Amino acid sequence: MITLRGLTKRFGAVTAVDDLTVDIAPGRVTGFLGPNGAGKSTTMRMVLGLDRPTAGRALVAGRAYRELRHPLREVGALLDARAIHPARAGRAHLLAMARSNGIPARRVDEVLTVAGLDDRAAAKPGRTLSLGMAQRLGIAAALLGDPPVLMFDEPVNGLDPDGVRWIRQLTADLAAEGRTVLLSSHLMSEMEQTAAHLVVIGKGRLIADAPVAEVLATGATAAVRVRGPHPEGLAALAGRLTAEGYAVTAEGPRGLAVTGATADRVGDLAYELGVPLHELSPVAVTLEQAFMRLTGDAVEYAAGGAR
């Protein structure tokens, strides 16, 4: 369990994290989302004792990180895949970490295998590792102490599709074992497939703390895609839907997008008007859409218009 209570961090006049209170529970993958500058990395650094809170507490299993006698046995983390000595081989890097935390050397080979790093890859110095290889080594380091709490910041950066699928399965397996798994990523499609629960922050403040399904449903407007063989029939259907207050957008001569209506209502109207349909399907709200809706007022760095 990761416990945040009134967690606040200020850098001069800038408040990076603002009175954040949330529990990251075990047994599920919790996605940690927010726009650039929202305070995600700062929050994770405070959990790991790398930044000192201005106010509030960040606890792992009820204790501050500095109170953990063998930190790697309590919490494993990947915050920066490049955090390795450029001249030190991956295996040597893990061995040094193991020795400093009283972890048997055989565990190094175990986590290298889990991470998919063979002897040749493990012998490479840090400066020669690709980003994907560095990510795998960083995840091996996080797993080294077999900890009950794991934190990964953008772990799929630099990974190929097979590596992304591996991360997805790994985090699911870790959560299924009853561990606490906190995963930060900007890849909404990947987070939608990986996380069971979401914590969303913006400008350092908590915006949402809910299961993925609830976040997707927040402010979501029902939408339906319609396709049929007869444009004139679809025009009549569009007119009837518009008269009932639904928003209708043409998608070519034989398609409609209907906002605010259910598929059942559109189907009933099409039947009543005698309009044949080839498609009548609800349009699912994506996590990206839900995220943009939730964080629209909390974007720190907005892109400019076209040039």
Beta bridge partners of residue 22, listed in sequence order = 4
151 touches 77 (CB < 8 A): yes
More confident residue, 220 or 90: 90
* Per-residue model confidence as pLDDT tens digits over 224-245: 999 999 999 999 999 999 999 9
Which band of pLDDT confidence, cut at 50, 70 and 90, is reported for residue 46? very high
DSSP state of 106: H
pLDDT value of residue 300: 58
Structure tokens at 170: 């790994």
What's the rounded mean pLDDT across residues 92-106? 93
56 touches 4 (CB < 8 A): yes
201 touches 207 (CB < 8 A): yes
14-24 β-sheet, strand order: 14-24, 2-11, 55-60
Q: Residues 6 or more apart from 90 whose CB is under 8 A from it? A: 84, 112, 117, 121, 122, 123, 124, 126, 129, 137, 140
Whether the pLDDT of residue 185 is over 70: the answer is yes
pLDDT value of residue 307: 44
Q: How many CA atoms lie within 13 A of 44 on its CB side?
A: 26
pLDDT value of residue 103: 93
Q: Residues 6 or more apart from 270 whose CB is under 8 A from it? A: 226, 228, 237, 276, 277, 280
Which band of pLDDT confidence, cut at 50, 70 and 90, is reported for residue 150? very high
pTM for this entry: 0.82
* Per-residue model confidence as pLDDT tens digits over 193-215: 999 999 999 999 999 999 998 88
What's the rounded mean pLDDT across residues 251-274? 93
DSSP state of 50: S
Whether the pLDDT of residue 146 is over 80: the answer is yes
Gap between the Cα atoms of 30 and 299, Å rounded: 22
Three-class SS of residue 248?
strand
| Domains of the chain with bracketed CATH | 2-217 (3.40.50.300), 223-282 (3.30.70.790)
Rounded to 5°, angle at Cα 175 from 21 and 16: 30
Nearest of 81, 71, 74 to residue 115 by alpha carbon: 81
pLDDT value of residue 220: 61
81 touches 152 (CB < 8 A): no
DSSP state of 140: H
H/E stretch holding 23 reads: strand 14-24
More confident residue, 240 or 289: 240
pLDDT value of residue 189: 85
Q: Residues 6 or more apart from 147 whose CB is under 8 A from it? A: 72, 73, 74, 75, 76, 179
Which band of pLDDT confidence, cut at 50, 70 and 90, is reported for residue 285? confident
Gap between the Cα atoms of 6 and 275, Å rounded: 58
Whether the pLDDT of residue 299 is over 80: the answer is no
